[in-house]
Amino acid sequence: VKPMTPRCSVPKAVPVGKSASLHCHENEGFPKSTYSWYRNSEPLSPDTKSSTKPHNSSYTLNPATGTLVFHAVHKGDTGRYSCIATNDAGFAKCEEQEMEV
């Protein structure tokens, strides 16, 4: 079963240096969906260590739960975030939401 449009929650504004949690979830898809996050349409790597882009942001992305946690946000984390739920039957994307730091 193709995933439904996931519900995404993105904080509107986060003070510099604070942590921020972004959530993405849908429960119609079968098999269970995996989740990927995008900032300004650029994919965020689930593994920050293997990312080829220079990154001074520390975040944890759990593809199984759809949770993206920034441990200490900085100005560069400001942007439009969206999430895609994917399984064998297809994928669905939530609306982009702005997070201001």
The pLDDT, as a whole number, for residue 58 is 83
Helices first, then strands: H and E counts in the chain: 0, 9
The pLDDT, as a whole number, for residue 48 is 56
Asked if residue 55 is part of any domain, the answer here is yes
Q: Which domain holds residue 48?
A: 7-99
Give the domain CATH number at 40.
Answer: 2.60.40.10
The pLDDT, as a whole number, for residue 56 is 54
The pLDDT, as a whole number, for residue 46 is 77
Mean pLDDT by 10 residues, the chain (101 residues): 97 97 97 97 77 64 96 95 98 98 97
Asked if residue 2 is part of any domain, the answer here is no
The pLDDT, as a whole number, for residue 23 is 98
Helix (H, G, I), strand (E, B) or coil at 2: coil
